[in-house]
Structures are given as C-alpha cells and as structure tokens.
Amino acid sequence: MIKATVNGKNAFSIENASQVTCNGVAVDWSAALLPNGNYSVIMNNQSFAVQLRKIDREHKTVSLQIAGQVFDVKLEEPIDQLLAAMGIKDALGRKVNDMKAPMPGLVLQVLVTPGQAIKKGDPVLILEAMKMENVFKATADAVVKEIKVSPRTAVEKGQVLIILE
C-alpha cells in the first residue's frame, strides 16, 4: 500500500492488487503520454489533462497541475511507512552519530569495520526484527568510529549499535 498526501493535508491509501483502490474504493483509470509531454488521464469516466511539473525522487514528491490547480503529492512506500513506525523516519535525512536499534532484534551481520569511511546509502548492518531482515544504510558520509555489537547478538530498542563520526 502506498500513502499519498496531497498538498500536505489530504491523505489517500492506494493499493494495486488486481485492481487499483484508493481508500478502499475501486478506481477505474488509465493514462496516456501526450506528444507535448503532458498526460491524458481518464478516471471514473472523466478526462483530465495533467501536467507533470516536478518529480523529486529523493524526497518522493511529485508536483502536478490539473485544470490550472497545482497538487503537490508526497508518496510513502511500504518501507517508508515501516521506518516511520519504527521511529527512524526523521533520521534518514541527516547525519546520525549513533546508529540505534529501532526495535528489539538480532544482529545478523555487521558490514563495516572501525575506521572505515562510508558513503551515504552504503549498507552498514543487517538486523532481523519481526521476522524481517532490515539493512541499515548510512544516512550521510561518515567514518565508523566504533562498533558496539557483533553478529548473532540480541539487541533492545534504542541500544547503540554503531557510532559514526
């Protein structure tokens, strides 16, 4: 399920199993790219001309113009929703000195060594929690200062796993 927030206030849940649904209601729609770069969207037997103004993949936002009105849409994929539920959503955009366990789990693998320089997005550690393997990635360029855990170690929520500088 994808969550879409329009203009910072209207939230929608979108699912795409065999049929697309929005907030649990089936939506019949299709879209076609026009020669001018805009889109023709038909939704529930209504036609809309949609101009794609901006796509920001890093922040998962899209800006659309429909009938002269601008719609800024923020998308949250299932992984974004999981990170928010684990309380680490805000940690993604800034440097974090201490990498902490967002929930109880088992360290499966430590992918870095002390003194190692890492880049934003590099995998750092794999933690098994809630029967899922979660790969923790560096949120910024950093150097591994200290590793506080080892593989096959059980950890508690909030426990410091790796210190970055």
Number of domain units in the chain: 2
pLDDT at 95: 46
CATH of the domain at 133: 2.40.50.100
Q: Does 1 have pLDDT greater than 90?
A: no
- Residue 13 shares a structural domain with residue 65: yes
Is there a single domain that holds both residue 6 and residue 70? yes
pTM beyond 0.85: the answer is no
For 158, the domain range is: 94-164
70 alpha carbon, distance to own chain's centre: 23
Is 132 a member of any domain? Answer: yes
Asked whether residue 66 falls in the same domain as residue 11, the answer is yes
CB 101 within 8 A of CB 149: no
Question: For residues 156 and 14, which has the higher predicted lDDT (pLDDT)?
Answer: 156
Give the pairing type, strands 46-56 and 39-43: antiparallel
pLDDT per residue as tens digits for the range 9-38: 888 888 876 678 888 888 888 899 999 989
In this structure, the answer to whether residues 12 and 40 fall within a common structural domain is yes
